[in-house]
A and B are shown apart, each in its own frame.
Chain A
Amino acid sequence: MRKILLVDDEPWLTDGLVAALESRGFQCLKAMDMTEGVKALMEHTISAVVTDIMMPPGTAFRKTESSESGFHLIEYIQKNWPRLPIVCLSVIADQAKIRFLKKRGVRYLRKGETPLSTAVEVIVAVAEGRIVRLPS
């Protein structure tokens, strides 16, 4: 079964997303901070990562600023698992930051504005390799 890793410090906010992905044959793993996310990546074979931006860094990345830890996680993943597709699910409005994500081949879905059906479609396509990472 394909696994999708969701990294969000408020996991109950993605209950609907998890239910929709699981009903489409994916197993969802939840991590509540950057440290838990990296640990899950080391222990499982993951098809796609869905991450928030503002979240606690956790014990292994204490010096990371919590308002930016999602960006650090993305950089860390792309350095260590360069082929792993990443979707950013957050509420960032800063265009420079959104451009940064695009440049790194990360799909950005805005929480609260993206319908669940669209989010599921994008995440499933990314996890199945139908949407590939854009070259940085």
Chain B
Amino acid sequence: MASPTIPGNDAEELQRLRGEIAALRLELEETQKSTTQYLQNVAHQLTAPLNAIKWNIEAIKDEKIPIPRKKSLLSSIYSQGTILVHLIKNFSLMSNLEADHELGQFRDQPEIISPLRLAINQTGDFQPQATESSKKLEVRMLTFDRVFGDDSLRVVKNLIAQALSNLLENAIKYSYTGTTIYVEAITKEMDGESWRGISVVNTGFPISAAEIGQLQNRGFRGNAAKQKIPAGTGIGLYLADKVMRLHGGVITANAKGSETRITLLFPPSRIVRQAVRSDP
């Protein structure tokens, strides 16, 4: 049977559509490839601490290992547990944030918290992880006195705590051994207003100027970061950025040589002239 003839214009249209289909197919393949890679990374991130916990438990049952050593293995289990909880919270947060929930749709409502206590509590959670990596974590309390004084923040505590945790976790991962990671308060003038924020400053693998603008993109990981820690989800700063936007704030990133400063900046509308009595 003879194949039907297609008029000139239709043939051109058909050709164009074929080209479009080929391009879309290629795009789909790329997306599937990166999704597989992403899921493999996530699986690694989740299984690595679990494997460490399993071996530590086995080691604790080993009669040849002395008791003081077993105590340090227990600390290691605690630390791995903290990492896991933090990771799982990130994934849960991602599902809420990607559903484009407004701040009011979250289970927790904004409350008044002390920025200094928030910094101290989150830093405390990551202290064992920092110590195990031969790094120090320090909250510069005087900067909080100077920047916030008796003022507090009106925010969803768990969301901001998770954003700050993401910054701390990255800083521990990507800083040089033997260095100190600082958590400090800063003020920045934006649009004629005074914004206040919490910065995490670390010395480590440099981030290029081209990469700075992409840090908040979902799944993005800088070249040095990928070389240093091959497995990673690349969602930490993405989520922190989303959390800050929900609060009308922003996240800023600056790099000078090997020093990187990532800041959670709050607009004046989130600052409350009121001291907090209870723990955040």
Residues on A facing B (Cβ under 8 Å)? 9-17, 19-20, 22-24, 32, 54-57, 66-67, 91, 111-112, 115-117, 119
Residues on the B chain within 8 Å of A57, using CB? 227
Q: How far does the alpha carbon of A9 sit from the alpha carbon of B52 in the complex, in Å?
A: 13
Residues on the A chain within 8 Å of B47, using CB? 91, 112
Residues on the B chain within 8 Å of A119, using CB? 55
The reply to whether A20 and B230 form a contact with Cβ atoms under 8 Å apart is no
Identify which of residues 125-174 in chain B touch chain A, using a CB-to-CB cut-off of 8 Å: 132-133
Q: How far does the alpha carbon of A23 sit from the alpha carbon of B59 in the complex, in Å?
A: 10
Residues on the B chain within 8 Å of A55, using CB? 230
Residues on the A chain within 8 Å of B51, using CB? 13, 111-112
Nearest 8 pairs between A and B by C-beta? A16-B55, A16-B59, A116-B58, A112-B51, A23-B64, A13-B52, A16-B56, A66-B230
The reply to whether B65 and A67 form a contact with Cβ atoms under 8 Å apart is no
Closest beta carbon of chain A to B159's beta carbon, Å: 28
Let me know if B269 is at the binding interface, CB within 8 A.
no
Closest beta carbon of chain B to A88's beta carbon, Å: 15
Residues on the A chain within 8 Å of B57, using CB? 16
Let me know if B48 is at the binding interface, CB within 8 A.
yes
Residue of B nearest to A110 (CB): B51
A23's partner among B48, B50, B69, B80 (CB-CB below 8 A) is B69
The reply to whether A115 and B58 form a contact with Cβ atoms under 8 Å apart is yes
Q: How far does the alpha carbon of A112 sit from the alpha carbon of B50 in the complex, in Å?
A: 8
Q: How far does the alpha carbon of A100 sit from the alpha carbon of B56 in the complex, in Å?
A: 30
Other 14 A-B pairs with CB < 8 A, given A12-B76, A57-B227: A9-B229, A12-B133, A15-B55, A16-B56, A19-B65, A19-B72, A20-B59, A20-B62, A23-B66, A67-B230, A115-B58, A116-B55, A116-B62, A117-B58
Let me know if B250 is at the binding interface, CB within 8 A.
no
Complex interface bits, B31-71 against A, C-beta within 8 A gives 1, otherwise 0: 00000000000001001111110111111001011100110
B interface residues, tally (CB under 8 Å): 33
The reply to whether A56 and B56 form a contact with Cβ atoms under 8 Å apart is no
Q: Give 19 A-B contacts (CB < 8 Å), ordered by A residue.
A: A9-B228, A9-B230, A12-B52, A12-B133, A15-B73, A15-B76, A16-B57, A16-B73, A19-B59, A19-B62, A19-B73, A20-B62, A23-B64, A55-B230, A56-B230, A57-B227, A67-B230, A111-B48, A116-B62
The reply to whether B65 and A23 form a contact with Cβ atoms under 8 Å apart is yes
Let me know if B202 is at the binding interface, CB within 8 A.
no
Q: How far does the alpha carbon of A13 sit from the alpha carbon of B73 in the complex, in Å?
A: 11
Let me know if B16 is at the binding interface, CB within 8 A.
no
Residues on the B chain within 8 Å of A117, using CB? 58, 62
Closest beta carbon of chain A to B61's beta carbon, Å: 9
Residue of B nearest to A25 (CB): B64
The reply to whether A20 and B80 form a contact with Cβ atoms under 8 Å apart is no
Decide yes or no: A23 and B62 within 8 Å by CB, A55-B230, A66-B226, A66-B230 being known contacts.
Answer: yes
Residues on the A chain within 8 Å of B54, using CB? 112, 116
Identify which of residues 181-214 in chain B touch chain A, using a CB-to-CB cut-off of 8 Å: none
Closest beta carbon of chain A to B83's beta carbon, Å: 9
Residue of B nearest to A9 (CB): B229
Let me know if B216 is at the binding interface, CB within 8 A.
no
The reply to whether A15 and B226 form a contact with Cβ atoms under 8 Å apart is no
Residue of B nearest to A33 (CB): B228
Output the residue of A11, A19, A23, A115 with the most chain B CB within 10 A. Answer: A19
